[in-house]
Each structure stands twice: as structure tokens, then as C-alpha cells.
Amino acid sequence: MKRGIYLVANRKSEAECLNLIYSIRRCGCRLPIRVIPFDEKPIRPDAAWEDVRLVRLDDFPQEGRRFLDELTQRMPICPEGLLRRFLAWFGEFDEFLYSDNDVVALMNWEELFSYLGQFEIVHADHEFATHGKFNMRKPDRFAELMGPGSLECAITDGHFLCRPRAQHVADLLRGVTWMEEHPDVPIWHHDQSLVHVTLALAKWPALNLCKPPHNWASSWAGDYVNTLEVFRTIQTERRPISHLHFSGGHAGGTNPTEELLLSNLSAKQRRRRLLSLLASEASGVRSAPKLAKRAMRKAQRLVRGSN
């Protein structure tokens, strides 16, 4: 059984990716790590890396590249870089863990593979409690069409384990077809919507470690007011946290718990980085790209609605 980790990164997310790799190794995980380029600007390799390798799209079989092309054509609003995580289904591993870059490992991820067992997907998040609002424009309509429990089967596809099956690719394409048949229901710019639709439609055996009987603590950084709460949850409540995911605007580096995103830096480098981040925050420079992206997404939705 060959196991490994897939990441997708580019020069823009390089700092987060390097910190993620650092945290994975510091927590004792020695699984091979493969980094897929998000775009034409891949991260720069580090000679000190231990079994970490940058891969090219050409390293994946033609079937996988064709699948990516089809997803890109049928989900044009979703950036291709996000869809490249699906290449993991065509990779070298019998079982893989995929992770976004804005993640910090808090345990040895090799231990997570023991939970796959009879499952095909294993994850640890509280996405089930969001009632589908981050994946569906019309969550109630989705629940009506898919049936009871369909909203609760959502996962955060920024961190999950998978044992690829032969039917998974066909199931994902069936998920895209369902989205095309109900274009006003899902959120199209988010690849996570496709995973949610597919899980509800194909009913892959999935385990969420944050649900009973395991009851692991939330892996979303936004659920902790500071780093002390993270330690208290693990030590006092004795509830494992597999990783912290700094999604939803929680990856700036200046707020509580975000110091974990700078773990791989020396004290001097950390001070310089914090000074730069605080200066950008005070000037408003950091908020401009987010506002522009939000405006672009709104425009794309309006264009799609008019077609």
C-alpha cells in the first residue's frame, strides 16, 4: 500500500506551502509529498526537503489530464488551479492525503490513514454544521433534491484522505452533470461544491472524525480565539485536532493562532514578516485584492445568470 501527500501550490502560496511542509515533518510524518503547480509559476524547490518533489502535469497519465481539461471546460468559473487537486486520483499513491497550503499540521498525518479502513474518504472538519451555505446558492433546494442528510455530508476539501476507486472519476463527472442540470443551486466558482454534490449523489463511504463516536475538535482556525484555546482543547478537553485550516480570511499572519503560519521562520524572519504584514494591514493594501476578487465573482454570477 503506497501512501503519500498531495499539495497544489504556486509562487503566491509558496510561503504557506513551505510552512505546511515544515509542520508536516516536525510532527513526525515521513510520507512522500508531491507538489502540483497551481499555475505556470511553481514554487521553488528546496534542497533540504526530505522526499518532497515538484511534479508536472505531464507526470500524470493522459487520462488524468483529459479529466482535468473536461472539468476546466465544464466549470469555467472555477480556477483551473483549484481543479488540479483532482489529479491526485491519477497519481502514484494507493491512498493519498490532499491538503491546501493554508494549513498547519498538528499531528503525525500517517496516523490518519488507519481510519480509512472500510471508508473511501476520511476528513476532520465541521463543514456539516454550515448547512451548505459555502457550497450551495440554494441549500434548501439542494436538500429537497438530494434528500435527508445531503447537506450534512459536506466536507472541507482543503484537507481529506482518499482511497481512490475505479468509479470515482465517473461519479465526479456525474456530479458535474447534476450541477449543469441544476445550475442555480451550486456555487460554481468553488471546486468543493463538486465534491459535496458527488458525495451526496454517489454516497461514497465517508468518515468525519469530528462527528461521533470520535468527536475530534474543529480543524478550522476561526473557531479558536487564540493559540491558548488550541492547546486547551487538546490538553484539557483531550480532543485531537489533526490540523488547523486558516481558510475564510484567517491566513493573514497577524491575528491570534496565525503565528502558526510562520512556524518555519527564524525569530528575526518572523519579526520582519510581521512588520511587513502589519504595515500592509494598516495601509489597507491587503484588503484590496480580496475586494477585487469579490467583485469579479459577483460579476461572473451575474453573467452566468443572464445566459
pLDDT digits over 213-229, tens only? Answer: 999 999 999 999 999 99
Residues 304, 192, single domain; the answer is no
Tell whether the model's pLDDT for residue 253 goes beyond 60: yes
Three-state DSSP class for 233? helix
Residues 178, 191, single domain; the answer is yes
pLDDT mean across residues, the chain? 92
Residue 124 and residue 208 in contact, taking contact as beta carbons nearer than 8 Å: yes
Residues 283, 259, single domain; the answer is no
Tell whether the model's pLDDT for residue 83 goes beyond 50: yes
Residues 306, 181, single domain; the answer is no
Q: What is the pLDDT of residue 292?
A: 47
Residues 220, 139, single domain; the answer is yes
Confidence band of 278 (pLDDT split at 50, 70, 90): confident
Confidence band of 45 (pLDDT split at 50, 70, 90): confident
Residues 199, 282, single domain; the answer is no
Measured in whole angstroms, the distance separating CA 190 from the mean position of its chain's CA atoms is 11
Residues 112, 210, single domain; the answer is yes
Express as a percent the part of the chain with pLDDT over 90.
Answer: 80
Three-state DSSP class for 299? helix
What's the average model confidence in pLDDT over 60-67?
Answer: 98
What's the average model confidence in pLDDT over 9-16?
Answer: 96
Residues 52, 89, single domain; the answer is yes
pLDDT digits over 176-193, tens only? Answer: 999 999 999 999 998 999
Strand 121-123, strand 159-162: pairing: antiparallel
Residues 295, 168, single domain; the answer is no
Tell whether the model's pLDDT for residue 118 goes beyond 90: yes
Domain count, the chain: 2
Residues forming beta bridges with residue 23, ordered by sequence position: none
- Exposure string (b/e) for 74-88, b if CB count within 10 Å is 16 or more? ebeebebbbbbbbbb
Residues 304, 255, single domain; the answer is no
Measured in whole angstroms, the distance separating CA 112 from the mean position of its chain's CA atoms is 16
Higher pLDDT, 259 or 293: 259
The region that residue 171 occupies, defined by phi over 0 for left and psi between -120 and 50 for alpha, beta otherwise, is alpha
Q: What is the pLDDT of residue 153?
A: 94
Of 215, 177, 4, 213, the residue nearest 96 (C-alpha): 4
Q: Which domain holds residue 287?
A: 266-307
